[in-house]
Amino acid sequence: MAYNHIVILTGAGISAESGLSTFRDAGGLWAGHRIEDVATPEGFARDAALVHHFYNLRRAQLNEVRPNAAHLAIANFAQTHTGTLTVITQNVDDLHEQATNGHDMPQGYSLLHMHGELRKARCLATEEIFKWHDTMDASTPCPCCNKPKRLRPHIVWFGEMPLYMDLIGHHLRRCDLFVSIGTSGNVYPAAGFVQQVRSTGNGHTIEINMEPSQGHSLFHEKIYGAATQTIPEFFINL
Ligand code: APR
């Protein structure tokens, strides 16, 4: 079956074998940090230094990690797919970008970071967004205001609206294949995308994960195993 409009949702599981912690697995990020402290606007207002430190460490780690066979399989498939391929990632790392290796991607390809990006900063006053590779803290002057205490990581925290939701809705309504990779299905609205696709009736839905997710019963098809094993094989056979 040739699919034309494909949507791929990725979560932390796709980057696990590149050495990046997931959130809810044993030893995951939320085992060592309180969400309230490091991933909410209230936590940032209470202790900005703690939040900056948390994201500075994660941003620095990006210099040490590389895309794995799963990221590369998606990027390679994108080069040959003639329809649309929309990668919606919950991940804030840049491994999908690194996997394209700076190649121009086909017109039908798009990558949407619905939870933001570690390599970007945002001005609290103007909402302007800047590429950011370095550390930041409350004393770091904002590039647009040149004032301290104006920068925050460009990350969507709990209680905040994810990014690109209109565009995501458009692609979910139109897709004929929805593939969910490496996500536990605990966090909405991403965990509800499979239901959205099924409610339009068009799309075939596939879950590829290490283990059944919260919403596993909603998928037409399920494939379990490590992403670097399952994903290259899946795209070769697609
Ligand atoms: N290959 C495939 N799947 C894997 C692998 C692997 N090597 N390792 C772990 N997984 C699976 C786990 O089984 C789990 O179901 O990846 C999933 C990771 O789940 P979470 O840690 O909950 O991460 P995710 O679903 O991406 O979290 C969603 O929650 O904390 C917020 O904003 C944060 O974007 C994040 C959102």
**pLDDT tens figures, 89-102:** 999 999 999 999 77
DSSP H stretches of helix in 64-107: 69-80, 95-99
Average pLDDT over residues 178-192: 98
> What integer pLDDT is reported at residue 60 of this predicted model?
95
Q: d(Cα 122, Cα 143) in Å, to the nearest integer?
A: 10
Question: Can you identify the CATH homologous superfamily of domain 21-64+116-155?
Answer: SIR2/SIRT2 'Small Domain' (3.30.1600.10)
Identify the helix (H) or strand (E) that includes residue 221. Answer: strand 221-224
Assign 201 a pLDDT band (cuts: 50, 70, 90): confident
Report whether residue 24 contacts ligand 1, using a CB cutoff of 6 Å.
yes
Give catalytic status of residue 133 as yes or no: no
What residue ranges do the domains of the chain occupy?
5-19+67-115+163-237, 21-64+116-155
| 34 vs 95, more confident | 95
> How many percent of the chain have pLDDT more than 90?
89
**Res 31 pLDDT > 90:** no
CATH number of 5-19+67-115+163-237: 3.40.50.1220
pLDDT of residue 74: 98
Nearest-atom index, ligand 1, CA of 185: 25
User: For position 103, what pLDDT does the model report?
Assistant: 80
Residue 228's φ and ψ, nearest 5 degrees, are -70, -15
pLDDT (tens digit per residue) in 110-125: 999 999 999 999 999 9
Better-scored residue on pLDDT, 104 or 157: 157
* Residue 183 beta carbon below 6 angstroms from any ligand 1 atom: yes
The answer to whether the predicted template modeling score (pTM) of the entire model surpasses 0.95 is yes
If you average pLDDT over residues 53-59, what whole number do you get?
96
Q: In a mutational test of the pocket of ligand 1, which residue from 34, 155, 184 has the highest number of ligand atoms less than 8 Å from its CB? A: 184
- Domain 5-19+67-115+163-237 matches domain 21-64+116-155 at the CATH topology level: no
- pLDDT of 1 > 80? The answer is no
pLDDT (average), residues 156-181: 97
**Rounded Cα gap, residues 93 and 119, in angstroms:** 8
For 118-159, what is each residue's pLDDT tens digit? 999 999 999 999 999 999 999 999 999 999 999 999 999 999
Sign of CA dihedral 231, 75, 174, 14: positive
Ligand 1 centroid, distance to 191 Cα (angstroms):
11
Within 13 A of 133's CA, how many CA atoms are on the CB side? 2
Backbone angles phi, psi at 6, to 5 degrees: -105, 135
| Peptide bond just before 153 cis, omega within 30 deg | no
Q: Please name which of 132, 144, 50 lies closest in space to residue 92, comparing C-alpha atoms.
A: 132
User: What pLDDT, on a 0 to 100 scale, did the predictor assign at position 4?
Assistant: 96
Q: How far is the CA of 23 from the centre of ligand 1 (A)?
A: 6
Type of residue numbered 104:
D
Residue 236 has pLDDT above 80, yes or no: yes
Considering only CA atoms, which residue is closest to atom 14 of ligand 1? 184
> For residue 204, what are the β-bridge partners?
177
Cβ of 22 less than 6 Å from ligand 1: yes
